[in-house]
Chains A and B, each alone.
Chain A
Amino acid sequence: MEARLFALQRLTAMVMAPFVLVHVGLVIYAVRGGLTAGEILSRTEGNWLWIVFYGLFVLSVSVHVPIGLRNILIEWLKLGRAAASVIGLMFGAALLVLGIRAVAAVGGLA
C-alpha cells in the first residue's frame, strides 16, 4: 500500500511537471495584452486539446495531493493510517469533482 502510494505520487508528479510549465507559460502568453473571461472562453470552449490537457491535469492533482495530505496527517497530526486514508480519499474526491466541473465549464461541455 505505502509503496504503491509512493509510486503513484511520484508518477503523477512526473505527469504534472510539464503540465505546470505549459499552464504557466500559457497564462503569461495569453495575458500579454490584457484578457477578459469572454476571450478565454472563446478559445477554450469546444477545444478538445485543452479539455484533455486540463482533464488529465485535474486527474493527476486529485491523485497527487491527497497522498501528500495523508502523509502530513500521519506525520504531523499523528493520525492513524486508516483515518488519514479516509480524509485523503474525501479530499481527493472533492478535488476531482471541483476540477472536472471547472474543466467542463471552461471547455463548454456544461
Chain B
Amino acid sequence: MDTTHSTNQRQLTVRISRGTEEGKFSTYLVPWRDNQTVLDVVTEVQRTQEPGLSYRYACRVGVCGSCAMTVNGKPRWTCRTHVSRVEEAGVIVIEPLRNMPRIKDLVVDMREFFQKWARAGNTFVGTATRNDPPALVSPQSKQRKLADAAIECINCGVCYAACDVVSWDKDYLGPAALNRAWTLYNDERHADPKDVLHKATSGSGCNSCHTQGSCMKHCPVSLSPTGSIAGLKRSAIFSLLKGG
C-alpha cells in the first residue's frame, strides 16, 4: 500500500453506515488509487481512521462469499467490485446487506438466511454406504447439467438482499436456498428428491417468487436462481399431475 501522502493525491469520499440503527453515516476521505476494490477501501478506512469499524471478509478473491455489502444502493461482493465501476462523482456509499438483521456497522446476522437453507429441504441423504464405490454421475446427463448450471453458489447472500419478495415476506425461503434445493433435487445420488420438492414448495416457498429476477441480476457469479425456482415450480406441477 502506498503510504506517502502527496497533497495532489485524488481523494475518494466514502460514506459508511455505522452502528446498529439506520441512517447513521460517517464520512471518510481515502486516497483514490488505481485498481482499488470496495473491500480495499473499507479495509483502508478501518486500518487508518476507524479501528472500531466492523465488517466481514476472508478470502479477498471472490471465493468465500463473506464480504457482500450494499454499495451505492446495490448488493455486491466488495472484494471483486472495483471502485471505478461503482463510484458516483467520487463518492461511494457503503451499507450492510438488506433483508438481514444488522449486528453492527456492515455486519449482518445471517442465521435466518442459513436456517432457510435447511427449511428448503437441503439436507443430503445418501443411498450408498462408505463401502460402496463413488457414484458415477455422467456429466452429460440432463439432471447433472441442470445441477451444474446452479451449483457454483458461494452463499454470499447478495441475491437474498436483492430480493423484494424477501423484503415483504419474512418467511419466504429466498433465492439462494431454493437454488440449492434445485441442485439437490437434480442430484441423482440423493435418496429423497420428492422431499426436497415438498419442502421447497410448502408455505412461503418457491411459489411465492414473483420472477422479478433481481437475484439473477445481482448474483456475482452469474447464476440464475430465478431459473432454478422456475424449475422447482415446473417440477412440482408435473409431480402433482403424476399423482405425487
Binding site for B on A (CB under 8 A): 1-7, 10, 71, 74-76, 81
Contact assessment for A7 and B168 in the assembled complex, using a CB-CB cutoff below 8 Å: no
Q: What are the 10 tightest A-B residue pairs by CB atom distance, in nearest-first order?
A: A3-B201, A6-B207, A3-B236, A7-B240, A7-B237, A2-B207, A2-B202, A2-B201, A75-B169, A75-B168
Give the contacting residue for A6; candidates B168, B197, B236; CB below 8 A.
B236
A21 CA / B224 CA spacing, docked (Å): 34
Contact assessment for B237 and A6 in the assembled complex, using a CB-CB cutoff below 8 Å: yes
Which residues of A lie under 8 Å from residue B197 when comparing CB positions? Answer: 3
Q: A75-B168, A75-B169 are in contact. Are A2 and B240 (CB under 8 A)?
A: no
Kindly identify, within residues 170 to 215 of chain B, every residue whose CB is under 8 Å from any CB belonging to chain A. Answer: 197-198, 201-203, 205, 207-208
Q: Mark B58-88, 1 if CB is under 8 A from A, else 0.
A: 0000000000000000000000000000000
| Chain A residue at minimum C-beta to C-beta distance from B198 | A3
A42 CA / B8 CA spacing, docked (Å): 89
Contact assessment for B203 and A3 in the assembled complex, using a CB-CB cutoff below 8 Å: no
Which residues of A lie under 8 Å from residue B205 when comparing CB positions? Answer: 2
A42 CA / B67 CA spacing, docked (Å): 72
Question: Does B136 sit at the interface, judged by CB under 8 A?
Answer: no
Contact assessment for B236 and A7 in the assembled complex, using a CB-CB cutoff below 8 Å: yes
| Chain A residue at minimum C-beta to C-beta distance from B202 | A2
A72 CA / B164 CA spacing, docked (Å): 15
Question: Does B241 sit at the interface, judged by CB under 8 A?
Answer: yes
Which residues of B lie under 8 Å from residue A4 when comparing CB positions? Answer: 240
Of A3, A6, A75, chain B has the most CB atoms within 10 Å of the CB of A3
Question: Does B233 sit at the interface, judged by CB under 8 A?
Answer: yes
Least Cβ distance of B28 to chain A in Å? Answer: 39
A10 CA / B240 CA spacing, docked (Å): 12
Give the contacting residue for A7; candidates B169, B198, B202, B241; CB below 8 A.
B241
A59 CA / B112 CA spacing, docked (Å): 41
| Chain B residue at minimum C-beta to C-beta distance from A71 | B208
Which residues of A lie under 8 Å from residue B198 when comparing CB positions? Answer: 3
Least Cβ distance of B224 to chain A in Å? Answer: 20
Which residues of B lie under 8 Å from residue A74 when comparing CB positions? Answer: 169
Give me 5 A-to-B residue pairs in the complex whose CB atoms sit less than 8 angstroms apart, sorted by A's number.
A2-B201, A2-B202, A2-B203, A6-B236, A7-B236
Of A2, A5, A71, A76, chain B has the most CB atoms within 10 Å of the CB of A2
| Chain B residue at minimum C-beta to C-beta distance from A76 | B168
Contact assessment for B202 and A6 in the assembled complex, using a CB-CB cutoff below 8 Å: no
Give the contacting residue for A3; candidates B168, B169, B202; CB below 8 A.
B202
Which residues of B lie under 8 Å from residue A75 when comparing CB positions? Answer: 168-169, 208
A3 CA / B208 CA spacing, docked (Å): 10
Contact assessment for A10 and B237 in the assembled complex, using a CB-CB cutoff below 8 Å: yes
